[in-house]
Chain A
Amino acid sequence: MTKFKLYTLGQQSSNVKFGKKGLWIVILSFLGVVFAGQLIVSSVLAGKGGELAVLQNRTLDLSRQNQYLKQELASQTSLLSIEAVSRKRGFVKPESTVYINLSLPVASIIH
């Protein structure tokens, strides 16, 4: 026995009618909400697909830009570039190298 039946012994037939009708209303409302929700999610996701494509292209562009900048940096810091720039600015190769002994004594013990 359901709750409805305990309360409404005298009005059983009308409550049964309400129970069936109410149940249908609940089921249909639930289905309606589910369908509506699916519609909303689908339309949102459809829009997101476009956004995803934009983001993917942006990622690719940034990756390509990054690679380009790395190459530019390498080109500007190559020894060839540095040599050319230093020659232009008047740097010359040292004519000779002088080796000095860092451990120059200040004092020494005389025996």
Chain B
Amino acid sequence: MVISSNVRIKILTVFFLLAAVLLLTRLFNWQVVKARELSRLGASQHQTTSTVAARRGSILASDGFPLASAREAWLVWASLKEIKDSQKVTKQLATLLAPDPEPKEKTSTQSGVLTDAILDERTKEELIAEEEERIGRLFQKEDVVWVPIKHKITKEVKEKIESLDIPGIGFDLEEDRAYPEGTMSAQVLGFVGKDTAGSDKGYFGLEGFYDLTLSGTRGIKSWEKDASGNPILVGVSRNIVSMEGLSLKTHIDRTVQFTIEKHLREGIEKYGANGGTVIVMRPQDGAILGMASYPSFDPDNFASSDKSLFTNPGIGDSFEPGSIFKVLVMAAALDSGIVKPEDKCECTGPHRVAEYTIRTSTDKYYPGSTPREIIKNSDNVGMIWAVEKLGTDKLLEYLYRFGIGRPTEVDLQGEASPDLRDRGEWTSVDLATSSFGQGVAVTPIQMVQAVGAIANNGRLAEPQVVDGIVGQGWEQDVKPRIGEVVLQNKAVEQITEMMVGAVDYSLARWSKPLTGFRIAGKTGTAQIPIEGHYDKNKTIASFVGFAPAPQEGSGQAAKFVMLVTLREPTSSPWADATAAPVWFRIAEDIFPYFGIQPE
């Protein structure tokens, strides 16, 4: 059969048309129907996404020195399938990753009191054996191809492991925290731990309070890569910029901090105390120049520290202040005009209040005492005379204005504030005992803030640690929080002179080199309440003072106010033999630093 050429052309045309339709159908299928799926598959091959970590901000001292800063650290991990001899690798890693044994701390030769708690007595060999067991357990995990072995190892340890050239062992960059000044100001700084999601989070102190500011925000980087993994410049890329954490510039003066920590440690050892706190504040603006408590913890090794040490006693522990509280009560009495400097108290002997008889600490009495003499002699009976004239309502009003009974809102995480009893709950006994600082509770920071108002010409300045926030190329000051006027000028001058007199009265006994300086201060020895009664032997010894004490009408300002408290000193329960000498030894060192000269 002969097919004509026209027919052949038509058959071919139909054939080609069918082929074209088939092709178009297939193209439609790949480019429209399966477009999304294929695009995703393609992207997974040539698109790569990585998280850009945000470096945590630093915490700087007043001179810009980093007290805490971000440090490069590494996560060491193992790809289990590539580990050939797991026992050998375990031994090799354990030797390098086992922690160092805790240093043995010295004990006091005088009183046998430990200066730091010994928490761990394991030897290096025991620690290596424990580490070996831990790593061995990780390597024995089934259905797992990858295990993290240890987080936050240092660069030096990483390099040592790398030099072993173990197949299957790798490293991921992490961030750790460095503390160039060691344990100094640990309880002010706080530490960085992990939250429930495994991300870094600050706890306690500045790390806790300013966690959000310090943390920063992670970024995401997404780009197309070629077969070698290099970025394709003309390809699609997406970049969400990371924001590094902001840094904090604090008021903490390293010299002051170093000095108070050194003398506090020495004082605790010398006087056999359980612990103690020192706070130094600039009264004009509430700047915390130094804050130390002992015992403390190592923020670089917080996991193995006693958790009870994380709370900063300077802001979190309350105590009955004892006689240091007298300056606030007497200042209130003078400011209200109810007590005048020339008034005299009978004060012939013990004072009966309800069913109680209240005596002076020495059982000595000073009939006809003026307020100045009451403060000088730390006369409990004289104070009852003053507070009974003042009355509960006025006393509570002034205490509240001094900041007692409410948080200072200092920028540190962990502040506690004991409540003042409601007006209706105050009895005559409570009024009497509160005049000499028993039956009321304060935190050290509240006490410093209150006495700071006297040093600042009657105006309360709320304590503050952070001076400014520092970013990339910018800095913003944190304004001081200046509160209300608590005392008028006249009362400030009167109480200041009384406190100067109180210091001069015993200055020769405490510290001779400090003669000629105008220091306003007060000792306080408070009994510790235990199960409804006061312990006869245990005390909290305190000294609070400011210098240079302004002369009447001079316009001069005190450069600092400082509180020293020692808990349960055993060499002597009295503050004038324990806390006061520590205060004066610190003052001796910081007077030249502050340019405070003798008169």
Binding site for B on A (CB under 8 A): 42, 45-46, 48-50, 52-53, 64, 67-68, 70-71, 74-75, 77-80, 83, 96-97, 99
Contacts and interface: CB of A to CB of B under 8 A. Distances in A.
A79 B254 contact: yes
B71 A53 contact: no
Q: Which of B65, B233, B588 has the most CB of A within 10 A?
A: B233
Interface string B209-234: 00000000000000001101111111
B108 interface: no
Contact of A99 (B72, B226, B228, B598): B598
B234 A53 contact: no
B184 interface: yes
Contacts of A64: 72
Interface stretch (B18-26, B174-182, B332-340, B376-384): B174-182
B597 to A, nearest CB: 6
Given A71-B178, A74-B65, A78-B182, A48 B233 contact: yes
A48 B225 CA distance: 12
Interface string B559-599: 00000000000000000000000000000100110000110
B513 interface: yes
B258 interface: yes
Given A67-B71, A97-B513, A80 B231 contact: no
B69 A74 contact: yes
Nearest to B259: A79
A70 B72 CA distance: 12
Contacts of A75: 178, 180
A46 B155 CA distance: 34
B71 A49 contact: no
Contact of B72 (A46, A68, A96): A68
A77 B66 CA distance: 11
A64 B66 CA distance: 17
29 contacts: A45-B232, A46-B230, A46-B232, A48-B233, A49-B231, A52-B231, A53-B229, A53-B231, A64-B72, A67-B71, A67-B72, A68-B72, A71-B69, A71-B180, A74-B65, A74-B69, A74-B180, A75-B178, A75-B180, A77-B65, A78-B180, A78-B182, A79-B255, A79-B258, A80-B181, A83-B258, A96-B513, A97-B591, A99-B597
B228 to A, nearest CB: 7
A64 B73 CA distance: 10
B230 A68 contact: no
A46 to B, nearest CB: 6
Interface string B7-32: 00000000000000000000000000
Nearest to B257: A79
Interface in B429-459: none
B230 A97 contact: no
Nearest to A79: B258
A70 B69 contact: yes
A71 B226 contact: no
Contacts of A80: 181-182, 184
